[in-house]
Amino acid sequence: ANETYPHQQWALGDIPQWSASQPYDLVFSNAAYQWVPDHARIMPHLLRQVASGGVFAFQVPANINAPSHELMRSTASSEKWRSHFPEKIREWHAHDPAFYYDALVDEASHLDLWTTEYQHILAGPEVIIEWYKGTGLRPFLDHLPGESSRKEFLSDYLVEIEKAFPLRKDGRVLFPFQRLFVVAIRK
């Protein structure tokens, strides 16, 4: 970012501990807050880092109960894999629109909240696996003891994904993905 936009101010930090040295006009995040716990505390704190009349805007996945996630959990809880997952895997920290409304309404003069479901057209079910290897599957894969068990888990998951997301007549799959958007204007 510094190389591409050298005249902008960039800061690297840990979201739960971050505080602005002075209020910003905009605090924005695209698909990061789902990895951060305690949204009831963090979201109002982040809104307070915005100047009066400024905007706090973010987007998080809103598909924790989608078939792709249900299949992660069912694969992990199958007889073959359950010994590797003795406790519930911590997945994303994301809530419904009402949660964010309640968390932010005291500090906001205006709130917009909406969900959008994108229909991603993917080359095949394997692409869904690749998509999630860097996101939703990470907590599951990190729990497994080695690369061979990770590959085997992904192979078993792929079998289930292929059933849930059939090939269309052109050989592609439709992959619905819901996201929640929140835009809060600070009082």
Of the chain, the percentage scoring pLDDT greater than 70 comes to: 100
Q: What gap in Å lies between CA 17 and CA 155, rounded to an integer?
A: 38
Q: Which of 97, 135, 92, 143 is nearest to 116 (CA)?
A: 97
DSSP summary character for residue 21: S
Q: What is the pLDDT of residue 163?
A: 97
In the predicted model, is pLDDT for residue 122 greater than 90? Answer: yes
Between CA 115 and CA 154 the distance in angstroms is 29
Amino acid at 29: S
The pTM for the full model equals: 0.88
Burial category of 166 from C-beta neighbours within 10 Å (exposed 0-12, middle 13-18, buried 19 and up): exposed
Q: In percent, how much of the chain has pLDDT > 90?
A: 89
In the chain, count of helices (H) and strands (E)? Answer: 6, 4
**What is the C-alpha to C-alpha distance for residues 33 and 15, in angstroms, rounded to an integer?**
8
| Residues 137-185 pLDDT 10s | 999 999 999 999 999 999 999 999 999 999 999 999 999 999 999 999 9
- Would the pLDDT of 88 be above 90? no
What does the pLDDT read at residue 11? 74
pLDDT at 126: 97
Residue 177's H or E segment, with its range, is strand 173-186
Reported as a single tens digit per residue, the pLDDT across 26-66 is 999 999 999 999 999 999 999 999 999 999 999 999 999 99
Q: What angle do CA 39, 143, 82 make, to 5 degrees?
A: 105
- Through-space distance between the first and last CA atoms of the chain, rounded to whole angstroms: 30
Whether 70 shows a pLDDT value over 80: the answer reads yes
pLDDT of residue 177: 96
CA distances for 78 relative to 58, 67, 149, angstroms: 35, 16, 14
The per-residue pLDDT for range 9-26, each reduced to its tens digit, is 887 789 999 999 899 999
**92 pLDDT above the threshold of 90:** no
- pLDDT for 13 equals 82
Strand partners, 61: 179
